[in-house]
Structure 1
Amino acid sequence: MVGTVPRGQWLRRSGRRSTGIRDGTRMVIQTVKNRPWLYVLLILPVIIVLGIYLPLANRLPDITATHWSSTYPDGFTRTGVLVPVSIGLSIAGAIIGLSSLAQRRKPALLLALLFIGSLLSWTTAGVFIGSVVPTALAETPQTAVIGIWMLPMAACTLVSLVPLWICGVYQSYSKQVQEERQARINRGQGLAAPAPRGTQGADGTEFSETMKAPWWLWVLGIVVAGAGVFMLLEISMRPGAKEWTAAMIGLATCLVITPLTFGLCLIRVTITEQRIRVASAIFGFPLRTIRPGEIQSVTSTEIDPMAWGGWGWRFFPGGSAVVLRRHEGLAFELKNSSRFAVTVPNSQRGAEQLNALMQKNGSC
């Protein structure tokens, strides 16, 4: 007689448990946050494309300006091809993005599909806005002017990254990958898992350390500043040139990027009883300020730029970082479920001081 075995008994007999352990590997079920907003962000590009096309359908000529050389178009596409392709791509992007939300046990696949779907649908909406609207407003496609419509095109590209920020998966997945990587290193070296550093009391002195950027960041700042000087000379010597507007935009960009680049060449991390402040040691502008009450945990560890979004002042889904090189630093887990890291010398002493400060505040 063949009978059925209850699922719980089968798990026990087969050596598997329903606690998230499978074949010696921990299964982490990812929790997707802000699902209603994700649905809205993934479906909205389709609504935008249809909402723009339907009222302008009768005003569109047979061809639509789709590629621009500075202000005026230099490339065209048949409207009968552009419209259905745009609608189809926006719908395809929405479907890909929505399908990603079902990948709870495969965070890497979830993030990849969510990024591809959101980028596809929002980029399509941006291109559609920047093509159809200027063409419909102009007398002919050849006289269309992109002008201010470049702004919604750029905005659509930026909005496409929002789902990755608000889903909350990247943060937990990145932390899991780092923990597994460190565990493999420890096993390969025959070491036990290291206890978090920074659990001892601080010596009571104020922590203030300065971190210097590698030489190439200084060179980058000089190059950007040189480009700004060149554009300034171009504007002053050729005020009536057609490229004057582009030069003005380039100059404004250099004026913003130059102090930011040089400001990151030297940073200072200061820890007091009231706050942890990361600021530019050259210009003094703050990069991040954290109150002790906002910290869940802090450790001294090696900061790998590739694990924290790259070099410089980085923002990524679920956190941010100020990373100047591969170096020791402080890694924060905050109570709002975000993360932060900063490269700084003598990070172990900083972590000890922060943990002592957190214990003191917790006992008060």
Structure 2
Amino acid sequence: MKNRPWVYVLLILPVFVVLGIYMPLADQLPEVIATHWSSTYPDGFTRAELFVPTCIGLSILGTIISLVSLAQHRKPALLLTLMFIGSLLSWTTVGVFIGSAVPTALAESPETAVIGYWIIPTVACTLVALTPLWICGVYQTYSKQLQDQRQARIAAGQVLAVPPSQAPEILEDSEFSETMKGPWWLWALGLIIAVTGVYVFVEMLVQPDSINWTSAIIGLATCFIVTPLVLGLCMIRVTITDQRTRVSSAILGFPLRTINLDDIQSVTHAEINPMAWGGWGWRFFPGGSAVVLRRAEGLAFELKNSSRFAVTIPNAQRGAEKLNTLLSQRES
């Protein structure tokens, strides 16, 4: 496992963060703690004698689950699953504790607590939960196992791959260009996010005095950033020229990945399984990245910098043939 000391720190740290925040605030916390906000002021409360032990207990439970996962080194899929569950549980608990206990302790009463900018560390803690999975390198091992299995299928003739020596001659000025549409739920997700952004904007204009401006601005900015990314991935285009392979959004046109021919070690036509490449969408993981819209045929690249890249696209075999021919011509 890579970065083992840092992984242990990130898995154990949530317990100390909760205790470290609670101890100096213990005398300032009232009998009830604000735990839910619908506008500027809270509308949901929990008794401190229940809230504090629950947060401490959940952070400990999440840490235990995460540490137990490290013993599953021979089962990387199980290790990643348990580490994700444990880390998400403990760090989300930290975020909830910060976003509830701190504003309550700083306010004159629980009813006047304002979450304000404390929502930022609350969200940040959830993102930190993914860090142990990113830096431990286990996903790389898991992907390597799946890659070996895929190569075995290739050798058995279950997946078509065109060796450079067998590729047909392709005209130098020919260009491979194909598009792929995303699944319906990706389109729906993009529209939901866009509608949410419009709704928040209208609320800011119509009822400026009754909204939480901090939450509204953060929500609007998030929708503004995420909407084009999601809708842009609803249809992608892969273009292969004599010099490079370019993956871009077929709707908005922004590039997702450009790979120069000189950077390619090998490329094959294969069935792209989202679970073997980090999931659906535009994915980044230790040792590579991928643009995966569904389980379908696509191109799998092995790059000279030891990283990997995959993209789902129709007629991927023809694209692999063109690239392998270009690689063969370049080597000769």
Is TM (by shorter chain) over 0.5? yes
Give the structure 1 partner of residue 90 of structure 2.
Answer: 121
In the alignment, is the contact (CA less than 8 A) between 1:269 and 1:279 conserved in 2?
yes
Counterpart residue type for residue 159 of structure 1: V
**Rg (Cα) greater in structure:** 1
- Cα distance in 2 for partners of 1:338, 1:113 equals 26
In the alignment, is the contact (CA less than 8 A) between 1:277 and 1:290 conserved in 2?
yes
Describe the superposition over 1:258-280 as per-residue Cα deviations: whole angstroms up to 9, x where unpaired.
43234223322234565432112
Alpha-carbon deviation of 1:295? 4.0
In the alignment, is the contact (CA less than 8 A) between 1:198 and 1:300 conserved in 2?
no
Aligned length: 327
Counterpart residue type for residue 122 of structure 1: W
The one of 18, 43, 68 equivalent to 1:49 is 18
Give the structure 2 partner of residue 20 of structure 1.
Answer: none
Give the structure 2 partner of residue 99 of structure 1.
Answer: 68
* Counterpart check, 1:137 vs 2:98: no
| More off after superposition, 83-92 vs 139-148 | 83-92
Aligned-residue CA RMSD in angstroms?
Answer: 3.4
Unpaired runs of 5+ residues, structure 1, are 1-31
Give the structure 2 partner of residue 213 of structure 1.
Answer: 181
- Give the secondary structure class of the aligned counterpart of 1:103: coil
- Cα distance in 2 for partners of 1:122, 1:232 equals 31
For residues 311 and 97 of structure 1, do their structure 2 counterparts lie closer, same or farther at Cα, with a shift above 3 Å needed?
Answer: closer
Give the structure 1 partner of residue 257 of structure 2.
Answer: 288
- Give the secondary structure class of the aligned counterpart of 1:331: strand
- Cα distance in 2 for partners of 1:179, 1:210 equals 28
- Give the secondary structure class of the aligned counterpart of 1:350: helix
- Cα distance in 1 for partners of 2:183, 2:58 equals 44
- Give the secondary structure class of the aligned counterpart of 2:108: coil
* Counterpart check, 1:197 vs 2:165: no
Describe the superposition over 1:32-86 as per-residue Cα deviations: whole angstroms up to 9, x where unpaired.
2221221121122122212212222222222222233333223333323333332
For residues 91 and 179 of structure 1, do their structure 2 counterparts lie closer, same or farther at Cα, with a shift above 3 Å needed?
Answer: same
For residues 225 and 132 of structure 1, do their structure 2 counterparts lie closer, same or farther at Cα, with a shift above 3 Å needed?
Answer: closer
- Cα distance in 2 for partners of 1:153, 1:298 equals 42
Give the structure 1 partner of residue 8 of structure 2.
Answer: 39
Percentage of identical aligned residues? 65
The one of 57, 63, 76 equivalent to 2:32 is 63
The one of 252, 261, 266 equivalent to 2:235 is 266
- Cα distance in 1 for partners of 2:253, 2:24 equals 51
Describe the superposition over 1:190-230 as per-residue Cα deviations: whole angstroms up to 9, x where unpaired.
x6565743534563445441313157355655555455555
- Cα distance in 1 for partners of 2:56, 2:306 equals 37
For residues 268 and 318 of structure 1, do their structure 2 counterparts lie closer, same or farther at Cα, with a shift above 3 Å needed?
Answer: same
In the alignment, is the contact (CA less than 8 A) between 2:160 and 2:270 conserved in 1?
no
* Counterpart check, 1:327 vs 2:292: no
- Cα distance in 2 for partners of 1:73, 1:205 equals 65
- Cα distance in 1 for partners of 2:182, 2:88 equals 33
In the alignment, is the contact (CA less than 8 A) between 1:198 and 1:348 conserved in 2?
no
Unpaired runs of 5+ residues, structure 2, are none
Counterpart residue type for residue 282 of structure 1: I
- Give the secondary structure class of the aligned counterpart of 1:313: strand
For residues 261 and 83 of structure 1, do their structure 2 counterparts lie closer, same or farther at Cα, with a shift above 3 Å needed?
Answer: closer
For residues 84 and 360 of structure 1, do their structure 2 counterparts lie closer, same or farther at Cα, with a shift above 3 Å needed?
Answer: farther
- Cα distance in 2 for partners of 1:254, 1:317 equals 27
* Counterpart check, 1:276 vs 2:245: yes
